[in-house]
């Protein structure tokens, strides 16, 4: 029987990193480091959210409330809730989805209540980060053979709730975060946590690829302008976007896995306040380095 200390998301995170742009076979040490970062950040998020609860019972609303300062990430979460609702509706009653009608759920209604300016539910604004991830995935898919393309599709579907039944996945996630079972998590809270974990892996991978791109730019401050900011790290020499017909077959497969040092550099940049950062002389908030928020 699996004990609390045996719980790991190594396989899921390895797949997710591949799906977000890492090598087909991510570095095992890098995956373990990312897993430890994700776990630490989730536990910090939970402790922050408990400040808005009674200290022991945690609901999804308290976790969502932490995201209120980032309208773009809140919008991305709203899209996630809508897509999840529509997927379940299709699976249950096979009816067509009316995209003009927003579904109702407790979490969506809570977001609407705290959305005084209607910024959180305005989904018309362009999401640059989401677009760059999709563009990167498209470029990768064109560089893969049939077998690796199928593996890539599988990796793109990986999440912290993708194995076994949803109930078993939630139990595993709860024990991973709270092995001593000191907190009473509502199901919607664990669903939000799973989403935060997924976004944390995505952002770490995004930033690691940016670190790699910066290291390739050398002393030329304008070199990184060729191609998309997230995507150009995967294109070397004449295989960048200025070519009318870049040879994608030579792009992705030659990229080494994201290294431990690249992840450490990401954390150094995120956790160390930059010179001149405006914080009005006050202490930086505890959540300023949390990727999901």
> Residue 46 — very low, low, confident or very high, per pLDDT cuts 50/70/90?
very high
CB atoms within 10 A of CB 180: 7
What are the DSSP calls for 206-229, one per residue? HHHHHHHHHHHHTT-TTGGGSS-T
Q: How far is 222 from 206, CA to CA, in rounded Å?
A: 20
Summarize pLDDT for 97-114 with one digit per residue, the tens.
Answer: 555 555 668 899 899 899
Joined tokens for residue 169: 């996945």
β-bridge mates for residue 58, sequence order? 185
Inform me whether the pLDDT recorded for 278 exceeds 70.
Answer: no
**DSSP category for residue 87:** H
Q: What is the pTM of this model?
A: 0.81
116 phi/psi in degrees, rounded to 5? -65, -30
Instruction: Give the mean model confidence (pLDDT) for residues 83-94.
Output: 66
Residue 53, CB half-sphere, CA atoms under 13 Å: how many? Answer: 23
3-class DSSP string for 126-190: CCHHHHHHHHHHHHHHHHCCHHHHHHHHHHHCCCCCCCCCHHHHHHHHHHHHCCCCCCEECHHHH
Is 215 part of a structural domain of the chain? yes
Is 259 part of a structural domain of the chain? yes
Inform me whether the pLDDT recorded for 32 exceeds 50.
Answer: yes
Is 180 part of a structural domain of the chain? yes
Count structural domains, the chain.
1
Q: Judge contact between 207 and 21, C-beta under 8 A.
A: no
Summarize pLDDT for 182-235 with one digit per residue, the tens.
Answer: 999 988 999 999 999 999 999 999 999 888 877 766 555 555 444 444 444 443
Among residues of the chain, what percentage have pLDDT more than 90? 37
Q: How far is 288 from 293, CA to CA, in rounded Å?
A: 8
- Answer with the residue of higher pLDDT: 136 or 263: 263
Q: How far is 71 from 293, CA to CA, in rounded Å?
A: 10
Summarize pLDDT for 243-274 with one digit per residue, the tens.
Answer: 444 443 444 555 789 999 999 998 988 877 55
Q: How far is 220 from 182, CA to CA, in rounded Å?
A: 52
Which range among 66-70, 161-165, 244-248, 255-259 shows the weakest confidence by mean pLDDT? 244-248
| Closest C-alpha to 31, from 54, 44, 46, 14 | 14
β-bridge mates for residue 57, sequence order? 184
Inform me whether the pLDDT recorded for 17 exceeds 90.
Answer: yes
The pLDDT of residue 87: 72
Instruction: Give the mean model confidence (pLDDT) for residues 114-137.
Output: 86
Q: How far is 110 from 244, CA to CA, in rounded Å?
A: 48
Is 278 part of a structural domain of the chain? no
Joined tokens for residue 221: 């401050």
User: Which range of residues forms the domain containing residue 183?
Assistant: 4-270
Q: Judge contact between 38 and 89, C-beta under 8 A.
A: no
Inform me whether the pLDDT recorded for 241 exceeds 60.
Answer: no
Is 276 part of a structural domain of the chain? no
Joined tokens for residue 215: 């290291």
- Answer with the residue of higher pLDDT: 253 or 173: 173
């Amino acid at each position: 029987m699996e004990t609390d200390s045996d719980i790991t998301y190594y396989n899921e995170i390895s797949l997710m990193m591949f799906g977000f742009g890492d090598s087909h076979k991510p570095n095992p040490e890098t995956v373990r480091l990312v897993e430890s970062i994700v776990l630490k950040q989730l536990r910090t998020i939970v402790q922050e959210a408990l400040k808005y609860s009674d200290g022991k019972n945690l609901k999804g609303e308290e976790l969502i409330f932490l995201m209120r300062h980032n309208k773009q990430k809140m919008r991305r979460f709203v899209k996630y809730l809508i897509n999840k609702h529509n997927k379940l509706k299709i699976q249950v009653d096979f009816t067509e989805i009316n995209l003009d009608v927003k579904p109702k759920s407790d979490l969506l209604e809570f977001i609407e209540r705290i959305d005084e300016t209607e910024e959180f539910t305005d989904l018309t604004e362009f999401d640059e980060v989401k677009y760059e991830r999709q563009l990167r995935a498209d470029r990768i898919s064109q560089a893969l053979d049939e077998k690796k393309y199928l593996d890539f599709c599988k990796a793109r579907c990986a999440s912290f709730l993708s194995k076994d039944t949803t109930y078993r996945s939630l139990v595993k996630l709860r024990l991973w975060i709270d092995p001593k079972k000191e907190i009473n998590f509502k199901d919607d809270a664990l669903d939000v946590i799973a989403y935060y974990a997924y976004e944390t892996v995505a952002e770490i991978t995004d930033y690691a690829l940016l670190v790699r791109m910066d290291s390739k730019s050398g002393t030329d401050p304008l070199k990184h302008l060729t191609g998309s900011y997230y995507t150009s790290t995967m294109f070397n020499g004449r295989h960048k976007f200025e070519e009318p017909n870049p040879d994608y077959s030579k792009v992705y497969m030659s990229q080494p896995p994201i290294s431990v040092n690249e992840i450490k550099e990401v954390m150094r940049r995120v956790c160390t306040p930059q010179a001149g950062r405006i914080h009005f002389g006050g202490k930086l908030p505890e959540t300023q380095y949390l990727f999901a928020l």
